[in-house]
A and B are shown apart, each in its own frame.
Chain A
Amino acid sequence: MSEFVFEAKGLCKSFPGVMALQDVNMKLSAGSIHALLGENGAGKSTLIKIVTGIHKHDAGDVFVDGAQLELHGPRDAISKGIGVVHQERNLIPRFSISENMFLEQLSSHPLRSIDFEILHLKARYWLDMLELDSDPKTPVQKLSVAKMQLVEIAKALSLNSHILFLDEPTASLTPHETKNLFSILRRLRDDGVCMIFVSHKLEEVQEICDQVTVLRDGKNACESRSMLGLDRQDIVRLMIGRSEQIPIWEARDRTNTKPVLELNKASTSIGHRDVNLTVHKGEIVGLYGLVGAGRTELAKSILGKYLVVSGEVLVNGKVATINSVADAVGKYKIGYVSEDRKSEGLVLMHSILENVGMTVWQRLSKGVAFLTNRAIRSQTVPFINKLEVKSPSLEQHVGNLSGGNQQKVSVAKWLAAGVNILIIDEPSVGIDIKTKAYLHELIRELSDEGTAILLITSDMPEMITLADRIVVMNDYLVMGELPNTRDYTEMSEGIMQLIHDAEETAESFVQVTS
């Protein structure tokens, strides 16, 4: 019996043209929470995919409880008690909680009847353990993201996983839900489960992890060392090879400039009521709220995707009727950087040039019948260069770029379109610290040049770094507005207070037990 429940020794993996992992080691002990950190492209996902049997490694060994593990597919990992909760939700939307949990073992044989009562009972046991009070019969599409995640954790545990990989589990959770998740994780740790926690949020890592492995460029920057005595800067140094530079910007007040985008008692077909909101020229207005507060939906209503049923939208002081996204971009110069780069922001199988060029085709083709490559280049390349998109060529498929570079491409697209108002939704989801700081400078710079920016983010530090004013939303209503003093404690308390007041009065709020 080894003292470690899990050990990876000298793992190597190469993909065509890239050495994704080089001689990577990791040791995990029972009853601990182990952080796995690294920038995007450092090899975290590859490591997870290898130990869970999705990718085959080229060299190295994996040991579980001291015994060598042969990995040929996800089943091998599952049977040895290695569970994983992926970053994206992996549930069948219309299936019940219990069916999702026991999906591959619904009954002893594919042609033997399923006893749903027994499934529900078995599910109940694990749900109780995670203090999830939903009925196991509920279809998962009716659950909140946080609950879906708990269902996935329950699913992994029900397979007797004692080694649990959690890939960015808090990425789409609200602070409250995160707190709840952490208390569950701590309890599991005390029960002897070994968890590997992947996150870009270092505050969380410091809060909950006992040990840390950092990857940099596919190699160990540190190997299963104790978190004791490591502060944030030490971790950052391990991750990026230098310390982090947090820009401390002056608080600024742009409310004296011309209002560019105004909502006047706007109500939408999807449930926003009497929303008032003003964004001035050169101002960054932050829109904060819990997941499901209706922020993205408000952005899409401004863009004309959902109907504004009453009230007014004013652009540059004039009433604007925006019936479609084409109107928003073409007539009113409003751009939207989607939170969901992969499905809404970019055409992954097209080149950088085609992606950035998408917004200028219409303008360029006015008058002349067809587009020349040169015309498109002249309109787009300056912006691509300005944002320092790193790629061997402009013909590169966007799908092959890193998350950070993809985000730069989606911003470049709107700069090329020449928008005056830019709505940016969760700009740093899945983006590493170095690129994030760069993006922040970029957003600040854009506003300095006069672009009015509406920033939607659930990342409180990001909000406080960037926004000039913060508007707080809850349940499709604007709760209030705070000028940003850039004092973290003061601001976060103010924001949570606004949301909290609303929650106390709203009984309908989806309660996750704490």
Chain B
Amino acid sequence: MNAQFGNYRESDWFGPLLITIGAIIIVGWMKPSFLSSFNIQILLLAISVNALIAFSQMMIIAIGQMNLSVGAIGGMAAIAFAGMMEVWHIHWTLAAFLALCIGLVAGITNGILVAWTGISAFVITLATLSVYKGINLGITEAQPFYNIPDTVKSLGNDTFFGPLPWMILPTIVVAFGLWYLLRRLPLGRFILAVGGNSHAAELSGISVTRTVIAAHAISGLLAALAGVMLVGRLQLGQPSIGDDWLILSFAAPVIGGAVLTGGKVSVASTLLGVVIVVIINQVLVLFNIDPYLVQVVLGALILWAVGMNRWREVRTGKNEQRVSA
């Protein structure tokens, strides 16, 4: 039993889970309105979109790279979604499908450029970030699309049961899907293998090129999904969607114990990371703290999380030292 508990304590989700529960209890006690049905709905809405953003980055962290263009892809998909509905008057489902395809293509483009040129993903996605954002601004001229169908608006804000919003459904499906992918499907294992040791993966006959492209494709798709959902939530096609995603996209996976060199990510802990970030945002609002402080707190949180990971590494380092000696 004790050993079992020790195992839990060593796992990545244990720390974030304790923090989440602790935060909910403390904040709920200080501000009972925090646990009101309405506030829970607000929290879940924020978690739904932010989780997708975090998952989008998480898939790239899994292969040991980074994707700076997550926000730009999301923004491009969002204005494409809103624009197609307003300008072409097509049904929202078709528009959403096409917007997701745009995200997929943008992700695949990232993946192909990274895998074929061998240039670091940092540089490639920095460049594509600029390209995608440029396309976004070129189309919208920085003006939002206002004409959003009512169905989309209500799906973006209404609940289907108690405080549970419709928006949480795609996120739940994605979370389970990714968990299954990374645990049970060879493709997911290939992604983690390439992140863990790409040389070894290649020598085992895994196509590193295809795996990298697949990870970027998934990342692009998830970023686009987040963008599309945010259009429903905000009830307009805002060109600035995605501009502030970058820090969050790294913060949540890192809080969840992801290793930035690749090979180790966790869907559950990343989700908890998102919950923590969302709660912090809420707390600052509830206690009337300057919203600009959010950035500061988020930055501090990343440093703390990285520090914790590092500390754990050093603490268990002796054993690993012995293995690698």
27 residue pairs from A and B, CB less than 8 Å apart = A74-B203, A75-B205, A86-B203, A90-B199, A91-B197, A92-B196, A94-B196, A94-B263, A94-B264, A95-B193, A103-B206, A104-B205, A104-B206, A106-B186, A109-B186, A110-B190, A111-B185, A111-B186, A111-B187, A112-B186, A113-B185, A114-B185, A142-B323, A291-B325, A292-B323, A292-B325, A297-B322
Q: With A103-B206, A271-B318 given, is the CB distance from A92 to B263 under 8 Å?
A: yes
Interchain CB contact under 8 A, A92 and B193: yes
Interchain CB contact under 8 A, A91 and B323: no
Interchain CB contact under 8 A, A92 and B192: yes
Q: How far is the CA of A158 from the CA of B318 in the complex (A)?
A: 33
- Determine if A442 is an interface residue (Cβ-Cβ < 8 Å): no
Interchain CB contact under 8 A, B206 and A143: no
Chain B residues within 8 Å of chain A by Cβ, number: 28
Q: How many A-B residue pairs have CB under 8 A?
A: 87
Q: With A86-B203, A291-B325 given, is the CB distance from A114 to B196 under 8 Å?
A: no
B206 surroundings in chain A (CB, below 8 A)? 103-104
The closest CB in chain B to the CB of A270 belongs to B318
B317 surroundings in chain A (CB, below 8 A)? 270
Q: How far is the CA of A271 from the CA of B325 in the complex (A)?
A: 14
The closest CB in chain A to the CB of B186 belongs to A106
Indicate with 1 or 0, residue by residue over A76-109, a CB within 8 angstroms of chain B CB atoms.
0010000010100111111100010001101101
- 4 shortest interchain CB distances as A-B pairs: A90-B200, A104-B205, A92-B196, A106-B186
Question: Which chain B residues (152-199) contact chain A, with CB distance < 8 Å?
Answer: 180, 184-187, 189-190, 192-193, 196-197, 199
Q: How far is the CB of A177 from chain B (nearest CB, A)?
A: 14
User: Chain B CB within 10 Å — which of A93, A155, A271 has the most?
Assistant: A93
Q: How far is the CB of B76 from chain A (nearest CB, A)?
A: 27
**Extra 8 A-B pairs, beta carbons < 8 Å, given A109-B186, A111-B185:** A54-B203, A74-B202, A90-B200, A90-B203, A104-B205, A107-B186, A114-B186, A297-B321
User: Chain B CB within 10 Å — which of A86, A91, A106, A155 has the most?
Assistant: A106
- Determine if A357 is an interface residue (Cβ-Cβ < 8 Å): no
User: Chain A CB within 10 Å — which of B197, B206, B322 has the most?
Assistant: B322
The closest CB in chain B to the CB of A52 belongs to B203
- Determine if A136 is an interface residue (Cβ-Cβ < 8 Å): no
The closest CB in chain B to the CB of A142 belongs to B323
Q: How far is the CB of B51 from chain A (nearest CB, A)?
A: 23
Q: How far is the CB of A316 from chain B (nearest CB, A)?
A: 29
- Determine if A296 is an interface residue (Cβ-Cβ < 8 Å): yes
Interchain CB contact under 8 A, A114 and B203: no
- Determine if B204 is an interface residue (Cβ-Cβ < 8 Å): yes
Interchain CB contact under 8 A, A78 and B321: no
A109 surroundings in chain B (CB, below 8 A)? 186
